[in-house]
Amino acid sequence: MHPKTFDALFLGPEASLRDALALLDATAQGIVLVADAQRRLLRTITDGDLRRAALAGLPPTTALAALPAKAPLCAALDASMRDVLEMMDAQRIDHVPIVDAQQRAVDLVTRRELSQKIWLSSPHLGDDEAALVQEAFRSNWIAPLGPHVDAFEREVAAHVGVAHAAATSSGTAALHLGLRLLGVGPGDLVLCSSLTFVASANPIRQLGATPVFIDSEPLGWNMSPSALRRALRTLAAEGRRPKAAVVVNLYGLSADMQALVPMLEEAGVPMLEDAAESLGARYRDRASGSFGALAVFSFNGNKIITTSGGGMLVGNDAALIEHARRLSTQAREAARHYEHVEDGYNYRMSNVLAGIGRGQLRVLEQRVDARRAVFAHYRAALAGRTGLRWMAEPPGHRGTRWLSAFVLERPQPQRARDLLLDFLERHNVEARPVWKPMHLQPLYAGCRYFGHDDDVSASLFAGGVCLPSGSNLQPEQLERVGALLQRGLDVVEAQA
Ligand SMILES: *Cc1c(COP(=O)(O)O)cnc(C)c1O
């Protein structure tokens, strides 16, 4: 509920039964919070309390303080949604006020909202997917490869403006193939954005190479050109040239390719563009995914469009993409029998799933518009609030806002972030911290890291929050999240 609605639920102990009845009617929330001037919760009043008072013959002018004492059923600020729900069931109540360490009521959870989960980013099917899958069934192409795969590859390549594409079983598989095709192998160094999902980095290690992590820049949160420059210079001075660079486009925003591409070209380091989160984004009139020697998309269930699971490796080099296709089908040579020279993988996309992907691609632009509208809603809802900074969309960019994200700028950002995430979780709203940077992961302890200036990615992790961002969020769900954010941030300001 909105802060104004929440504030309206309070009455002092001197108020009467009649006041409580009037307030229950006016607010229609089913509960009145009786509290002292510091908002310390004394008790709650529901319709049932008023009915019992009437049956006991108490006149409407009776002060609430004179009612039979009843300790308020409430929970603490660290209560989870599950705790609250268990309390509701055990006590047969529909509302649980949340109190802080001083017993002040700071929040109210209602049973109604707990029946309606709001997801971070859920699949959103269009009108054509079922028919395309049906077509795969009808023609009995229930196999990896098939006409939908071929068409999906052509359609994605055309959409991105690159010559070739190979559909894979996941974005991670495409990253693995891409690195191998760029020649990455044991003993190599590979540069990689630190602020990313672990799948950007894992294939580096799996190929026997060593990642070198690069910090973010503070505006768009993607790879910092100045940190990259220092890394390239430092490594060059040591006589080492990285074999490749995995440049991530975070949360639907392209990295600063105008700065990064020439730097990498000059150093002779090919770029593998991790565009898993940025399909549909543009940078200086080019599609995200068209900047690297190779680029990767993901169609995992939480991405802007999905095949339930899948990925794509794209690029302009026909030979590389042809090689990717061969490696992803067990590296079988052209022969009647099964002849193998290289070791390959089973990484191809199924024809059934490619049917879903073709339908999804037809609505991509609508999905981008819808996610951008979600972001605009949040920004308007929180306009004028201080202490938070949205992930920017610098000039020259058109991002997709795959996830709407901001960073809390406070003395103890991580505590504030966790309070806010706890608050949203308790109301059945899925929000997440920003990615934990790879250089802070135990898995990559000891790897080299080049910072921007301060450790930008570490502070984005400490205070960063990703909000529900699905293209299928309904206006009333957005209203609900916006109002919860207002109140959650109030709680953060009071407590953190
Ligand atoms: C989702 C994601 C991947 C992995 O894609 P999958 O299809 O889930 O394997 C890789 N990198 C980034 C940045 C991602 O967000």
Is the beta carbon of 222 within 6 A of some atom in ligand 1?
no
Mean residue pLDDT across the chain: 96
The residues spanned by each domain of the chain are 3-114, 127-361, 364-495
Q: What is the predicted pLDDT for the residue at 278?
A: 98
Q: Whose CA is nearest to atom 14 of ligand 1?
A: 276
Q: What is the predicted pLDDT for the residue at 141?
A: 85
- Per-residue pLDDT tens for 84-98? 999 999 999 999 999
Pocket test for ligand 1, best of 197, 222, 353 (most atoms within 8 A of CB): 197
- What's the topology of domain 127-361? Aspartate Aminotransferase; domain 2 (3.40.640)
Q: Among the listed ranges 67-76, 231-240, 352-361, 460-469, which one has the minimum average pLDDT value?
A: 67-76
Distance 162 CA to ligand 1 centre (A): 20
**Average pLDDT value for residue range 329-335:** 92
Q: How far apart are the first and last CA of the chain?
A: 21
* Residue 69 reports pLDDT greater than 90: no
Is there a common fold for 3-114 and 127-361? no
Q: What is the predicted pLDDT for the residue at 3?
A: 85
Is the beta carbon of 273 within 6 A of some atom in ligand 1?
no
- Per-residue pLDDT tens for 366-403? 999 999 999 999 999 999 999 999 999 999 999 999 99
Q: Whose CA is nearest to atom 7 of ligand 1?
A: 171
Domain 3-114 is classified in which CATH homologous superfamily?
A: CBS-domain (3.10.580.10)
Crossing angle between the packed helical segments 129-138 and 351-362, to the nearest 10 degrees:
150
- Per-residue pLDDT tens for 284-322? 999 999 999 999 999 999 999 999 999 999 999 999 999
Atom of ligand 1 nearest to the CA of 196: 13
Distance 308 CA to ligand 1 centre (A): 13
**Among 416, 423, 488, which residue's Cα sits nearest to residue 77?**
423
Is the beta carbon of 196 within 6 A of some atom in ligand 1?
yes
Is the beta carbon of 172 within 6 A of some atom in ligand 1?
yes
Is the beta carbon of 193 within 6 A of some atom in ligand 1?
no
* Residue 496 reports pLDDT greater than 80: no
- Per-residue pLDDT tens for 414-446? 999 999 999 999 999 999 999 999 999 999 999
Q: Beta strand 32-35 with 10-11: parallel, antiparallel or unpaired?
A: parallel
- Per-residue pLDDT tens for 108-159? 999 988 988 999 999 999 999 999 999 999 998 887 788 999 999 999 999 9
Find out whether 433 and 417 touch, Cβ atoms under 8 Å: yes
Q: What is the predicted pLDDT for the residue at 115?
A: 86
Report the CATH architecture of 364-495.
Answer: Alpha-Beta Complex (3.90)
Crossing angle between the packed helical segments 47-55 and 17-27, to the nearest 10 degrees:
150
Helices (H) and strands (E) in the chain, counts: 17, 21
Enter the tokens of residue 328.
């992803």
Is the beta carbon of 255 within 6 A of some atom in ligand 1?
no
Q: What is the predicted pLDDT for the residue at 310?
A: 98
